[in-house]
Amino acid sequence: MRFGTPCWIDLATTDPKASRDFHGGLFGWQYRANPTGDYLTALADDVPAAGFYRVPDMPDPPAWTLYLAVSDSQRTADRIVRLGGQILMPPQEFDGQGSLLVAADPTGATIGFWQPAAPWPFATGTKGEFRWGELNTWDGDSADKFFVDLFGYQLEQIGDGEDFDYTTWTLLGDSEPVAGRMRFGADFPRATKPHWMIYFEVGPMLGTDEATVLAVRLGGRLLSEPADSPFGRLSVVEDPAGAVFTLIDSSNRTTPHAPSEEELGTGNDDPYDD
């Protein structure tokens, strides 16, 4: 695992059972509880894919948190502060598995960091697994600078930088980006809060359209109709507890072109708008 790469996702929710049942029905996840029973690990083909935990009272809607791998959580915390971020939860050790840190970048989006104490399995890329993390924010330049300074990412602008401002972040020496950043356009309500959008792969056997129908049947709410993009066919769904995510069939791609905000699952019906 390279430092600066996505290594975990979890969901803080007021209703873990509703979220667990919904995602289990949608992705076929099985679950394993920790010894105290306050944290559930979702398994995709017996490999850890995500976590769930209960928060009794939340001021904001439930949301997925993305974690990036680091080599030293305390040094990372110190650098975050120097670079203009804010520590939301200082480094904490968890059952000898590693050290966890939660922060807000200078634009206000929450992001986690995980220092694994041993090889850390994380299911990615196939059906029901993490595919992509995308930071949606008002201040793209500040977000880019913060994460570049933190991890040494190489930036690539895949939009026009004005009407559509979208960058990808790639670790030095790698060919594939680890995450993306989209700046909100003028058509987004000013109250929309910076946040990370998590993309889950549905695969060609199910496909985005059928996965979307299934999500609604399981009690989810459709926020953005399935649409084609150069990255795969996408839709945006809200689970019964209010957490928002994107479904993607990355095998179903259109001819490359500058993708629209709607194609990237960030249409006007924004769930983070107050």
Q: What is the mean pLDDT of residues 100-115?
A: 97
Which pLDDT value is given to residue 1? 74
User: What residues have CB less than 8 Å from 97, skipping those under 6 apart?
Assistant: 116, 117, 118, 120
Please say if the pLDDT value at position 271 is more than 50: no
For 141, phi then psi, to 5°, come to -65, -45
Neighbour tally for 36: CB within 10 Å: 7
Farthest-apart Cα atoms in the chain, separation = 50
Measuring CA to CA, which residue among 3, 49, 262 is closest to residue 147? 3
Q: What is the mean pLDDT of residues 119-148?
A: 95
272 pLDDT more than 50: no
Average the pLDDT over each of 43-52, 149-158, 257-266 and give the range with the smallest value: 257-266
Least confidently predicted of 30-39, 60-69, 127-136: 30-39
pLDDT at site 186:
84
Determine the average pLDDT of the residues in 228-253: 93
Q: What is the pLDDT of the chain when averaged over all its residues?
A: 90
The pLDDT assigned to 261 comes to: 54
**Cα-Cα-Cα-Cα dihedral of 226, 227, 228, 234, to 10°?**
-50
Give the span between the Cα atoms of 26 and 128, in whole angstroms: 8
> Looking at this protein, which amino acid is placed at residue 80?
I
pLDDT band at 264 (very low <50, low <70, confident <90, very high): low
190 vs 252: CA distance, rounded Å: 33
**Which residues, 6+ apart, have CB-to-CB distance to 213 below 8 Å?**
none
The answer to whether residue 242 scores a pLDDT higher than 70 is yes
pTM of the model: 0.90
Q: Is the pLDDT score of 182 beyond 90?
A: yes
